[in-house]
A and B are shown apart, each in its own frame.
Chain A
Amino acid sequence: KAGVTQTPRYLIKTRGQQVTLSCSPISGHRSVSWYQQTPGQGLQFLFEYFSETQRNKGNFPGRFSGRQFSNSRSEMNVSTLELGDSALYLCASSLGVSGEQYFGPGTRLTVT
Protein backbone atom coordinates (compact mmCIF):
# COMPACT_ATOMS: atom_id res chain seq x y z
CA LYS A 1 0.00 0.00 0.00
CA ALA A 2 1.43 3.37 -0.97
CA GLY A 3 2.26 5.80 1.81
CA VAL A 4 1.31 9.43 2.21
CA THR A 5 2.51 11.54 -0.68
CA GLN A 6 3.11 15.27 -0.68
CA THR A 7 3.78 17.59 -3.57
CA PRO A 8 5.87 19.48 -4.24
CA ARG A 9 8.80 18.32 -2.11
CA TYR A 10 10.60 21.65 -2.34
CA LEU A 11 9.37 25.14 -2.96
CA ILE A 12 10.97 28.58 -3.00
CA LYS A 13 8.69 31.58 -2.81
CA THR A 14 9.03 35.31 -2.30
CA ARG A 15 7.51 37.30 0.56
CA GLY A 16 3.97 38.34 -0.22
CA GLN A 17 3.27 35.45 -2.57
CA GLN A 18 0.88 32.62 -1.82
CA VAL A 19 1.46 28.88 -1.98
CA THR A 20 -0.63 25.71 -2.18
CA LEU A 21 0.66 22.38 -0.90
CA SER A 22 -0.93 19.05 -1.69
CA CYS A 23 -1.30 15.83 0.26
CA SER A 24 -2.61 12.42 -0.79
CA PRO A 25 -3.36 10.16 2.18
CA ILE A 26 -2.92 6.42 2.40
CA SER A 27 -5.69 4.67 0.49
CA GLY A 28 -8.72 4.21 2.74
CA HIS A 29 -7.66 6.85 5.24
CA ARG A 30 -10.25 9.54 5.76
CA SER A 31 -8.46 11.87 8.14
CA VAL A 32 -5.69 14.27 7.19
CA SER A 33 -3.75 16.53 9.54
CA TRP A 34 -1.15 19.18 8.75
CA TYR A 35 1.86 20.19 10.82
CA GLN A 36 4.56 22.82 10.55
CA GLN A 37 8.08 21.90 11.61
CA THR A 38 10.73 24.54 12.34
CA PRO A 39 13.99 24.36 14.31
CA GLY A 40 12.72 26.89 16.82
CA GLN A 41 9.14 25.74 17.42
CA GLY A 42 9.40 22.06 16.58
CA LEU A 43 6.31 20.29 15.26
CA GLN A 44 3.18 22.39 15.53
CA PHE A 45 -0.37 21.35 14.62
CA LEU A 46 -2.04 23.38 11.86
CA PHE A 47 -5.40 21.71 11.23
CA GLU A 48 -7.16 18.41 10.76
CA TYR A 49 -9.83 17.27 8.34
CA PHE A 50 -12.16 14.32 8.39
CA SER A 51 -14.69 13.63 5.64
CA GLU A 52 -14.12 17.09 4.14
CA THR A 53 -14.83 18.86 7.44
CA GLN A 54 -12.25 20.78 9.45
CA ARG A 55 -12.45 19.32 12.95
CA ASN A 56 -9.74 21.23 14.69
CA LYS A 57 -7.43 24.14 14.02
CA GLY A 58 -4.11 25.10 15.58
CA ASN A 59 -2.97 28.50 16.71
CA PHE A 60 -1.92 29.93 13.35
CA PRO A 61 -3.02 33.14 11.62
CA GLY A 62 -5.85 33.16 9.11
CA ARG A 63 -3.31 33.24 6.28
CA PHE A 64 -3.08 29.48 6.77
CA SER A 65 -6.05 27.60 5.39
CA GLY A 66 -6.83 24.16 4.13
CA ARG A 67 -9.44 21.92 2.66
CA GLN A 68 -10.16 18.29 2.03
CA PHE A 69 -11.76 16.80 -1.05
CA SER A 70 -14.22 13.96 -1.36
CA ASN A 71 -11.39 11.55 -2.22
CA SER A 72 -9.69 12.53 1.09
CA ARG A 73 -6.89 14.38 -0.66
CA SER A 74 -6.06 17.63 1.07
CA GLU A 75 -4.50 20.96 0.25
CA MET A 76 -3.21 23.72 2.45
CA ASN A 77 -2.75 27.29 1.37
CA VAL A 78 -0.62 30.04 2.83
CA SER A 79 -1.31 33.54 1.59
CA THR A 80 0.86 36.64 1.90
CA LEU A 81 3.96 34.63 2.74
CA GLU A 82 6.33 35.88 5.44
CA LEU A 83 9.95 34.91 6.02
CA GLY A 84 8.88 33.09 9.19
CA ASP A 85 6.71 30.74 7.16
CA SER A 86 9.85 28.96 5.96
CA ALA A 87 9.45 25.45 7.33
CA LEU A 88 8.89 21.80 6.61
CA TYR A 89 5.16 21.25 6.15
CA LEU A 90 4.07 17.74 7.01
CA CYS A 91 0.84 15.99 6.22
CA ALA A 92 -0.32 12.93 8.16
CA SER A 93 -3.17 10.57 7.47
CA SER A 94 -5.11 8.21 9.70
CA LEU A 95 -7.97 5.80 9.29
CA GLY A 96 -10.32 7.61 11.64
CA VAL A 97 -10.35 10.83 13.57
CA SER A 98 -7.92 9.66 16.26
CA GLY A 99 -5.26 6.99 16.50
CA GLU A 100 -2.11 6.30 14.57
CA GLN A 101 -1.01 8.97 12.12
CA TYR A 102 1.32 8.27 9.22
CA PHE A 103 3.38 11.11 7.87
CA GLY A 104 4.40 12.01 4.36
CA PRO A 105 7.93 13.18 3.46
CA GLY A 106 6.95 16.83 3.78
CA THR A 107 7.21 19.93 1.62
CA ARG A 108 10.21 22.13 2.33
CA LEU A 109 9.06 25.75 1.85
CA THR A 110 11.64 28.50 1.72
CA VAL A 111 10.44 32.10 1.69
CA THR A 112 12.95 34.71 0.52
Chain B
Amino acid sequence: GQQLNQSPQSMFIQEGEDVSMNCTSSSIFNTWLWYKQDPGEGPVLLIALYKAGELTSNGRLTAQFGITRKDSFLNISASIPSDVGIYFCAGQARLHGSGNTGKLIFGQGTTLQVKP
Protein backbone atom coordinates (compact mmCIF):
# COMPACT_ATOMS: atom_id res chain seq x y z
CA GLY B 1 0.00 0.00 0.00
CA GLN B 2 0.89 3.65 -0.30
CA GLN B 3 3.17 5.01 2.41
CA LEU B 4 5.11 8.12 3.18
CA ASN B 5 8.88 8.07 3.55
CA GLN B 6 9.61 8.69 7.20
CA SER B 7 13.10 8.99 8.65
CA PRO B 8 14.93 8.05 10.64
CA GLN B 9 13.52 4.57 11.27
CA SER B 10 14.81 4.57 14.83
CA MET B 11 16.67 6.80 17.24
CA PHE B 12 18.42 6.08 20.51
CA ILE B 13 19.19 9.30 22.35
CA GLN B 14 20.22 10.60 25.73
CA GLU B 15 17.64 12.25 27.96
CA GLY B 16 17.71 16.00 27.44
CA GLU B 17 18.69 15.83 23.78
CA ASP B 18 16.58 17.27 20.97
CA VAL B 19 15.05 14.99 18.33
CA SER B 20 14.12 15.61 14.71
CA MET B 21 12.23 13.40 12.30
CA ASN B 22 10.64 14.04 8.93
CA CYS B 23 8.30 12.70 6.31
CA THR B 24 8.37 13.15 2.56
CA SER B 25 5.93 12.27 -0.16
CA SER B 26 5.66 12.40 -3.92
CA SER B 27 2.07 13.62 -3.50
CA ILE B 28 0.64 16.85 -2.17
CA PHE B 29 -1.32 16.76 1.06
CA ASN B 30 -3.86 19.18 2.51
CA THR B 31 -3.24 18.10 6.08
CA TRP B 32 -0.33 16.64 7.99
CA LEU B 33 -0.85 14.88 11.31
CA TRP B 34 1.69 13.56 13.78
CA TYR B 35 0.89 10.69 16.13
CA LYS B 36 2.62 8.78 18.93
CA GLN B 37 1.85 5.14 19.59
CA ASP B 38 2.71 3.18 22.71
CA PRO B 39 2.80 -0.65 22.68
CA GLY B 40 -0.67 -2.20 22.61
CA GLU B 41 -2.43 1.13 22.18
CA GLY B 42 -3.85 3.19 19.36
CA PRO B 43 -1.99 6.23 17.97
CA VAL B 44 -2.47 9.44 19.93
CA LEU B 45 -2.70 12.70 17.99
CA LEU B 46 0.11 15.11 18.82
CA ILE B 47 -0.10 17.90 16.26
CA ALA B 48 -2.27 18.76 13.24
CA LEU B 49 -1.08 21.04 10.40
CA TYR B 50 -3.38 22.56 7.80
CA LYS B 51 -1.44 25.18 5.83
CA ALA B 52 1.78 25.09 3.84
CA GLY B 53 4.54 26.71 5.87
CA GLU B 54 2.59 26.40 9.12
CA LEU B 55 4.65 25.92 12.27
CA THR B 56 2.75 24.57 15.30
CA SER B 57 3.88 23.72 18.81
CA ASN B 58 2.46 21.50 21.50
CA GLY B 59 4.61 21.78 24.60
CA ARG B 60 8.07 20.48 23.74
CA LEU B 61 6.87 19.34 20.32
CA THR B 62 7.07 21.50 17.21
CA ALA B 63 5.93 20.46 13.75
CA GLN B 64 6.03 22.16 10.38
CA PHE B 65 4.01 21.75 7.19
CA GLY B 66 6.49 21.96 4.31
CA ILE B 67 6.17 24.75 1.76
CA THR B 68 5.89 22.28 -1.11
CA ARG B 69 3.09 20.46 0.79
CA LYS B 70 5.01 17.26 0.21
CA ASP B 71 6.84 17.09 3.53
CA SER B 72 6.57 17.68 7.24
CA PHE B 73 8.93 17.77 10.20
CA LEU B 74 8.57 17.02 13.90
CA ASN B 75 10.99 18.22 16.56
CA ILE B 76 11.02 17.20 20.20
CA SER B 77 13.09 19.37 22.49
CA ALA B 78 14.72 18.29 25.74
CA SER B 79 13.57 14.67 25.50
CA ILE B 80 12.43 12.81 28.60
CA PRO B 81 11.97 9.06 29.21
CA SER B 82 8.20 9.20 28.61
CA ASP B 83 8.87 10.34 25.03
CA VAL B 84 9.73 6.72 24.24
CA GLY B 85 7.43 5.26 21.61
CA ILE B 86 6.76 5.13 17.89
CA TYR B 87 6.03 8.39 16.09
CA PHE B 88 4.03 8.39 12.89
CA CYS B 89 3.40 11.08 10.34
CA ALA B 90 0.19 10.93 8.33
CA GLY B 91 -0.92 12.87 5.28
CA GLN B 92 -4.46 13.57 4.22
CA ALA B 93 -5.20 14.41 0.60
CA ARG B 94 -8.13 15.50 -1.48
CA LEU B 95 -10.14 13.09 -3.61
CA HIS B 96 -10.01 14.05 -7.27
CA GLY B 97 -13.05 16.16 -7.99
CA SER B 98 -14.88 14.89 -4.93
CA GLY B 99 -13.77 17.16 -2.13
CA ASN B 100 -11.93 16.10 0.94
CA THR B 101 -11.29 12.61 2.22
CA GLY B 102 -10.51 11.37 5.68
CA LYS B 103 -8.12 8.76 4.32
CA LEU B 104 -4.77 8.98 6.08
CA ILE B 105 -1.57 7.74 4.49
CA PHE B 106 1.04 6.88 7.11
CA GLY B 107 4.79 6.85 7.32
CA GLN B 108 6.57 3.71 8.50
CA GLY B 109 7.19 5.23 11.91
CA THR B 110 10.20 6.40 13.92
CA THR B 111 10.98 4.38 17.02
CA LEU B 112 12.39 6.61 19.72
CA GLN B 113 14.31 5.30 22.70
CA VAL B 114 15.52 7.64 25.42
CA LYS B 115 18.34 6.73 27.77
CA PRO B 116 17.92 8.31 31.21
Cβ of A103 and Cβ of B42 under 8 Å apart?
yes
Size category of the B interface is 20 to 34
Q: Check B28 for interface membership: any CB of A closer than 8 A.
A: no
- For A108, the chain B residues whose CB sits under 8 A away are 40
Residues of A that sit less than 8 Å from B by CB? 4, 31, 33, 35, 41-45, 48, 50, 55-56, 58-59, 90, 92, 94, 97-106, 108
Give the 7 A-B CB pairs with smallest separation, nearest first. Answer: A103-B42, A98-B100, A43-B106, A44-B1, A48-B102, A100-B48, A103-B43
Cβ of B1 and Cβ of A94 under 8 Å apart?
no
Chain A interface mostly: strand
CA distance A108 to B106 in the complex (A): 19
Cβ of A42 and Cβ of B33 under 8 Å apart?
no
Cβ of A98 and Cβ of B1 under 8 Å apart?
no
Cβ of B109 and Cβ of A56 under 8 Å apart?
no
CA distance A104 to B45 in the complex (A): 11
Which residue in A33, A41, A97, A100 is a CB contact (below 8 Å) of B33?
A: A100
CA distance A22 to B104 in the complex (A): 20
Given contact pairs A41-B1, A59-B1, A98 touches B41 in the complex (Cβ within 8 A): no
- For B7, the chain A residues whose CB sits under 8 A away are none
Closest Cβ of chain B to A12, distance in Å, is: 16
CA distance A94 to B92 in the complex (A): 13
Cβ of A98 and Cβ of B3 under 8 Å apart?
no
Q: Check B25 for interface membership: any CB of A closer than 8 A.
A: no
- For B57, the chain A residues whose CB sits under 8 A away are none
CA distance A108 to B108 in the complex (A): 19
Q: Check B14 for interface membership: any CB of A closer than 8 A.
A: no
